[in-house]
Chains A and B, each alone.
Chain A
Amino acid sequence: MKAIADWALDVANHLGASYADVRLADDRHRGLSTKNGKVGSASVAESLGFGVRVIADGAWGFAASDDLTRAAVEATAARAVEIAKASSRVKLHDVQLAPEKAMTAEWTSPFQIDPFTTSVEQNIELLLTIDSELRSVPGVTLAETNLNFRREEQWFFSSEGADIHQTKYTTGTGYVAHAFAGSEIQKRSYPNSYGGQWQNKGYELVEELKLVENARRVGEEAVALLTADKCPEGVFNIILDGSQLGLQIHESVGHPIELDRVLGMEANFAGTSFLTLDKLRTLRYGSELVNIVADARQEHGPGLGTFAFDDEGVPAQCTPIITNGLFTGYLSSRETAHTIGASRSGGTLRAEGWNRLPIIRMTNISIHPGEKPLTREQLIASTDDGIYMETNRSWSIDDKRYNFQFGCEAGWEIKNGKRTRMLKNPSYSGITTEFWNAMDAICSRDEWTLWGTPHCGKGQPQQVMGTGHGAAPARFAGVKVGSAYKGT
């Protein structure tokens, strides 16, 4: 691979690039799903190619190809320089890269069981067993399961001398039971909605999740929702389960702290951010209990945002984002670090694959659990009046990340410290900083899970990326509930 990269780097250098890097990636995937007792899809895929990123005449160019012959590699590098020179015709200033020591490194994400060594028969058997459990519940009209394995091997070389080889294994799995009756469709998912739980782990993740053991309960809850009372509208204390809090972090903390959004670079598509540069270390983002980090390091856990180096060769780091409620950090890159006075990148530049330009992406944006022991049941017991909501069903937030609305699959009324009747169609909405300032309790480490969000979209052309979000159930006071169904 180094020889291939050298062909590209030599051409870029010869044609006048002041900086160049080459990423080669070999991506493999197995995807299986079932639907109502049958295999829905069964596929394997592989993709091998490379991308060349250059700065020439002070501007960026990027070209990618899946043709690894020397002629094609050199032509692709030349195309990247040609593109950069075209870019330079419309620029206000030259690109500046924060300095970074060129590293030589090898890294593989830890795993116990290489998921690709498990048999497809075994995989399908598991999914069909879950499917059977779900459909054993009268009233379940549609059962869907999925299992995905991915192996991403990447080689990064730069004109500054970086030589980094990383391999990452990802496993994702989950299921959903739908119930249709009369004029209503309800659903329950496990362990999370929209694909389940995803981590940088091997097949051991599947074994840890107790998938079969939870299937019948999930099916029963889907059917029970059809006859449950509607979630009331009003202002309530709410408790969110960890998976919903993880998505809340993703949308109302993770995206607004992306420095490219803050600087207007995503204004046409993903949007900008309310977190203008003057707010760093001045904005009271949340209550004193809110401590959130962006942590890509292995010691944070096997999140989808865990790696050893980002896609421009910067080592994984932990950046305090919200510290005791105060806004303290952005997600940055070598190009953007200087705008916040940082001497180096925060190491968050990542690409979906070899054919995409790396852009600022969330790593693992996680909230610290509470320091005092507090289980979910104890949290509910300490709540006189409120609503507990579990598992995301819909999510939406404005393009500066102020106003959000989330719907959950299921809710339960809390009265005098007890979880009482089930509530259908729970939703809540608010303004980001007002919401985080209303957090008055969070469960402790035993309830904390590093959730995976596998399909975060950003960029043009759009790129899909996995991000991690560690979260525990938490309580928020005085939250607006039920707007989603107001007036409809």
Chain B
Amino acid sequence: MLNKDQAAEIFEKLKKHSTADEVEALIYGGKSALTRFANNTIHQNVAEESYSISVRTAFDGRTARATTNKFDNDSLQRVVQASESLAKVQHPDPDLLPMPDASESPAAAEARPSRHSAQTAGLTPELRADAVEKIVQVATGHKLTTAGVFASSEGVEGIFNSHGLNDWHAYTSSEISVTMLAGDSSGWQKANSPDVTQLDPTGLAEVSARKALESARPREIPAGKYTVILEPAAVLDLAGFMFWDFGGLSILDQRSFLNNRVGTQIFGANINIWDDVAHPLQSGSPFDGEGIPRQRVHLVENGVVKRLVYARATAKKMAQSEYRDKVGPVAATGHGFSLPNEMGEAPMNIVFSTPQDPKTVDQMIASTERGILVTRLWYIREVDPYDKILTGMTRDGTFYVEGGKVRHGILNFRFNESLIHMLSNVEAMGTPVRASGEESFDMVAPPMKVRDFNFTEVTKF
């Protein structure tokens, strides 16, 4: 695995090829592997090792980026020249800031949580096959068919610039996703962690199998507004669609659903959301695309959006804009994407606060006279950008709840629901957990019980 000292040497070589006023390099890569199974068989099984270097140069307000996966001297020279050639023909951008220096990336006051596990780094194809074998045993034991993945990786990402800023992040990741298929039903579970010992393939398989079995012979019930109990994966897959609008640049661009809404009560008073890369259940790089440390930001406070996140340039631009008094505190928060880009910044380490009186999913079911239990959502897309209406489907375990009990599986629904409406109607929440879906990035998210969730159509299965 490439280490920071080796990367720093590469940057020193690279710098010698540059004639730019400033130069920055992102160096990243590593090893990844994924064992994929379906029909109770491993049918795809892959591994990769690669590294890339992405070089940004700047000349007097002009900047551009070039990337290569070759590290020999000629390639380093070529990638620097490519970046410089591209930068030189840009029009000067008055909003482009000088690259940050080391003082803007001070050593963290607190030790950063480790995101690297030796056990994860040491996973072999054989160990992944062992886990898949256990999952398949659960499937065959229940006369089901299983499909899923067991993935792992070990990687690094570093940033170096000609003002002396440098930072480094080493990490591992592991993930198991299991679908169990019966004749007319299915169940699903997914978990991930930097530490593979936190994953329980048999447990995930058993829960997935139980959902498939309990949702067998699904019945059709009419579309309409229902109380819905969303498991954490469903919550994050929906909520993830709004955080792209929490960047300051999205307000400046007037493309955010938070236009004219920062500081107003747009969600229920029980909604509190942070961005916190250092949270014990979070993962990811502790610095942003310019090397600025990611700060902990209280985005939503008792249902009011109080803070946005900012890259350095966006913060400066916001402070000079007509919106500066309407968007809460304005300062760089370490959430910028690598430059140049059009998106600016976004919070990517979302943590929902634990409610005062957390409820388990079972308690939510027990308190529900008539409602729907949703395991997972699928193919979510934004229908309306300002009302934040999303559409999508339920999938892999959708149940009818009546009289405080799960009664039976139901045919899957299409929903068209506003996130603003949904987060204003949360009747109960559970303790947030590290959750993973397919439509949005991983989060620390709770299960939620939401009234009047808008299902508009029923599909055929």
Contact = CB atoms under 8 A, between A and B. Distances in A.
Interface of A: 33, 35-36, 38-49, 59-67, 76, 79-80, 82-84, 86-93, 119-121, 124, 128, 141-142, 144, 178, 180, 183-185, 263-269, 271, 274, 355-357, 359, 393-400, 402-403, 405, 407, 425, 427, 429, 431, 460-461, 483-488
Interface string B275-301: 000000000000000000000000000
Residue with the greatest number of chain B CB neighbours at <10 A, chosen from A45, A124, A359: A45
Given A35-B342, A42-B64, A92-B40, A47 B69 contact: yes
A184 B386 contact: yes
Q: Across chains A and B, which 4 residue pairs bring their CB atoms closest together, nearest first?
A: A86-B125, A40-B342, A403-B459, A267-B147
B45 A268 contact: no
A396 B43 contact: no
B379 interface: yes
A403 B457 contact: yes
Contacts of A41: 65, 340-342
Given A180-B254, A394-B391, A488-B454, A92 B378 contact: no
B3 interface: no
Nearest to B87: A42
Contact of A90 (B86, B124, B132): B132
A45 B47 contact: no
Contact of A59 (B38, B42, B148, B395): B42
A407 B148 CA distance: 31
B101 interface: no
Contacts of A184: 386
A398 to B, nearest CB: 4
A326 to B, nearest CB: 20
A87 B67 contact: no
B125 A398 contact: no
Nearest to A461: B34
Given A47-B69, A460-B151, A488-B417, A90 B37 contact: yes
A67 B379 CA distance: 37
12 contacts: A46-B69, A86-B125, A89-B42, A142-B253, A180-B386, A183-B386, A265-B43, A396-B391, A397-B393, A483-B456, A485-B383, A486-B454
Interface string B103-115: 0000000000000
A356 B41 CA distance: 20
B318 to A, nearest CB: 15
Contacts of B41: 90-93
Interface in B378-423: 378-387, 389, 391-393, 395, 412, 414, 416-418, 421
A178 B254 contact: yes
Interface in B319-346: 340-342
Interface residues of B, number: 98
B91 interface: yes
B177 interface: yes
A109 B269 CA distance: 58
A431 B460 contact: yes
A460 B36 contact: yes
B340 A42 contact: yes
B91 A274 contact: no
A488 B342 contact: no
B205 interface: no
Residue with the greatest number of chain A CB neighbours at <10 A, chosen from B79, B379, B421: B379
A43 B66 contact: yes
A488 B50 contact: no
Contact of B136 (A90, A269, A400): A90
Summarize A's interface: helix, strand, loop or mixed: mixed
A438 B415 CA distance: 24
B163 to A, nearest CB: 21
A265 B38 contact: yes
Given A43-B64, A49-B69, A399-B395, A180 B42 contact: no
A370 B297 CA distance: 57
B87 A66 contact: no
Nearest to A460: B149
Interface in B403-461: 412, 414, 416-418, 421, 438, 454, 456-461
A63 B46 contact: yes
A84 B386 CA distance: 49
B90 interface: yes
Residue with the greatest number of chain A CB neighbours at <10 A, chosen from B125, B136, B387: B125
Given A38-B91, A265-B43, A274-B460, A461 B386 contact: no
Contacts of A67: 49
B68 interface: yes
Given A38-B93, A65-B50, A264 B181 contact: yes
Nearest to B190: A268
A42 B41 CA distance: 44
Nearest to B459: A403
Given A264-B39, A268-B149, A484-B389, A39 B90 contact: yes
B454 A396 contact: no
A83 B87 CA distance: 44
Interface in B178-205: 178-179, 181, 186, 188
Contacts of B63: 42
B48 interface: yes
B255 A142 contact: yes
A33 B45 contact: no
B129 A90 contact: yes
Nearest to B68: A46
Contacts of B85: 120
A45 B66 contact: yes
Given A39-B340, A398-B378, A431-B460, A60 B44 contact: yes
Contacts of B260: 183
Contacts of A488: 384, 387, 389, 416-418, 421, 454
